[in-house]
Amino acid sequence: MKIEKAERLKRLPPYLFKEIDRQKEEVRAKGMDIIDLGVGDPDLPTPPHIIEASQRAASDPANHRYPSYSGMHDFNAAVARWYQRRFGVELDPGEEVVTLIGSKEGIAHIPLAFIDPGDVVLVASPGYPVYHIGTQFAGGEPYYMDLLKENGFLPDLKVISQESAQKAKIMFINYPNNPTAAVATREFFESVVAFAEEYNVIVCHDAAYSEMAFDGFRPMSFLEVQGAKSVGIEFHSLSKTYNMTGWRIGFAVGCTDVINALGQVKSNIDSGAFQAVQIAGITALEGDQACVEEMRQTYAERRDILVAGLHAAGLSIEKPRATFYLWVEVPQGYTSAGFASLLLTEAGIVTTPGNGFGAAGEGYVRMALTVDRDRIREAVKRIEGIGL
C-alpha cells in the first residue's frame, strides 16, 4: 500500500523547530555539549501556587468530565478582570472571551472560520510560522508584509497593493514581536484599525509576549485603541507569562462575531481545555503577580549579559525592550542558515536562522534567553572563541 500525503502537507517546508531539533541531535550525537538558544521554551518552572491549584483541581471528580467548549465561565471572567486591571479594556466574558488550548491552537484555527480557498491573509515576514501555515491549511493565500529594520520591524501598510488589500480577509500582527523583539506604538495600532475599517479586514493580534517586558516598559493591548474591538481580536497565552508552555492554556478576546466564529470551529474540532488547567489559569491570573516580576528580572539579567557579550564579539544587536529573544544581524559574508550552522558545529550553540521565519528574516539569527546566566556566559565565551 502506498501512503500519499495530502497536497497541503507536501507544500509545507519542514516545521522550523522540528528541523532544528533534528540538526541539534546530529551534533549532540558527535559528543558536543549543546547550549540551546533556539526554541523559545522557558526554562523557568511554573510557580508553585499555580501547580498546587492544579493538583487540587485534578483531584476533584467534577473536573474529570468534558469541559465547556468555550471555556469555564470562571476562567473567562478571570481573563476579563485581568484585561481590565492590566489594560483598562472591558470585556464581556460570555461574548468576548474564548478559552484556547494554548494560543497556537486558536491562531491555527481562526482561518478556518473566515478563509475560503483563494482568499488572502496578510502575514508578517519574518513571523511566527503558524500564521501562514494555518492560512494554507484553510486554502488561503498568504501575502507577506516585510518587517524591515528601517521601519522598526513594523509592516508598512502603505505598500500593500490595492488588489491584495481588497482580497484580504485577515491580518496577523504580533507585538511585542517574535522573532524580531520589536514593539509597536499606539500610532501603528491606530493605522491598523484604519486599514481594517477601510478594507473590511479582521485583525488578529498575537500578544503572547505583552508581559515579558523590561526596564519599566509596559506594552499596550491592541484593544486599547479606539475601534479595535470592532475589527479584531487579540490572542494571549499563559505560556510565557507564567512559564506554562506545557499546560496548553490561552485565550482570545475581542470582537464578538469573530470570537463566536472561532468558538464554532473549536466546538467541531476539540472538546475544550481540561478544567483543572483552567482553574490553575485562574490562580495564575488572579494570584500573586510577584512571580511575573521575578521572571522579568531574570530575563533582563540574561539579556544584558548576552547583548554585552555579542557586542564584544563584534556582532550587531539592539537591546530588546520586550520578549526573551535577541534578533542578531549575521556577520558580513554569512547567510542566516550559514551563520546558524557555524554556531552549531563550531561552538555547539543552537540558534534559529532568521529566514526560517520568512524571506525577510534573511540576514539575522534569533537567540532565545532560555538558559541560565552561566550557560549564557559560556555561550558568549564560545562565540568569542570563533573569532568573527
Bridge partners, 98 (sequence order)? 252
What pTM does this model have? 0.95
What's the pLDDT at 25? 83
CB 46 within 8 A of CB 374: no
Between the CA of residue 274 and those of 7, 143, 299, what are the distances in Å? 33, 36, 30
CB-based contact 251:71 (threshold 8 Å) = yes
Burial classification of residue 37, based on how many CB atoms lie within 10 Å of its CB (0-12 exposed, 13-18 middle, 19 or more buried): buried
Output the furthest CA–CA distance in the chain (Å, rounded): 61
pLDDT value at residue 8: 87
DSSP-derived 3-state class of residue 144: strand
Mean pLDDT in order along the chain per 10 residues (388 residues) = 88 70 81 90 96 97 92 96 98 98 97 96 97 96 97 97 96 98 98 98 98 97 98 97 97 98 96 96 98 98 98 94 98 93 92 94 97 97 90
Q: Which domains does the chain have, with CATH numbers?
A: 7-45+290-386 (3.90.1150.10), 48-286 (3.40.640.10)
Residue 15 confidence (pLDDT): 63
SS3 letters for 177-210?
A: CCCCCCCCCHHHHHHHHHHHHHHCCEEEEECCCC
**What is the reported pLDDT for 26?**
83
CB 252 within 8 A of CB 236: yes
Q: Determine the Cα–Cα distance for residues 354 and 21; give it in Å rounded to an integer.
A: 16
From CA 74, how far away is CA 293, in angstroms rounded?
Answer: 25
pLDDT of residue 10: 82
